[in-house]
Amino acid sequence: MAVMVTGETFDREVGASSVPVVVELFATWCGDCRRVTPVLDHLAAEFVASVKFVQVNADEWAELAERSGVSSTPTLFVVDGGQQVATVVGAQPEAVLRGSFEQATGRVDGARSELAWVPVDACTLSTAEQPTRLAELDDLFASLRGLR
């Protein structure tokens, strides 16, 4: 089961963890984030004995997303010994997501997955830009309604 972390708990839960940590940054409005949730929940349960899985709401904790260099959701990264050692961006297939957990446990040598060619499906809307983009869409749809 994933642990929700905040700006106040991130360093304690992730940076100071005695076990490798898989961190997911997500947004509640992100369809791809919702699409990978069941897979990540399954993997978190499978790897519970050897990997800590935490989630960060990128909208609520934008400074954590920025500090981590995250500009798309979903983004997963592996932290081991306080260092970020791997990153997966987008709603990737289960095999790619599993690779993150396997890398965290040391079951793989860091080689690129055979599925690394898979196109990334990610919401690339910056959380800071979301209100501006929504206003632009509202204006667009309002102008389109006037065309009828």
Which residues are the active-site residues? 30, 33
DSSP one-letter string for the chain: -PEE--TTTHIIIIIT-SS-EEEEEE-TT-HHHHHHHHHHHHHHHHTTTT-EEEEEETTTTHHHHHHTT--SBSEEEEEETTEEEEEEESS--HHHHHHHHHHHHTSS-SPPPTTTTSPP--B---TTTHHHHHHHHHHHHHHHHTT-
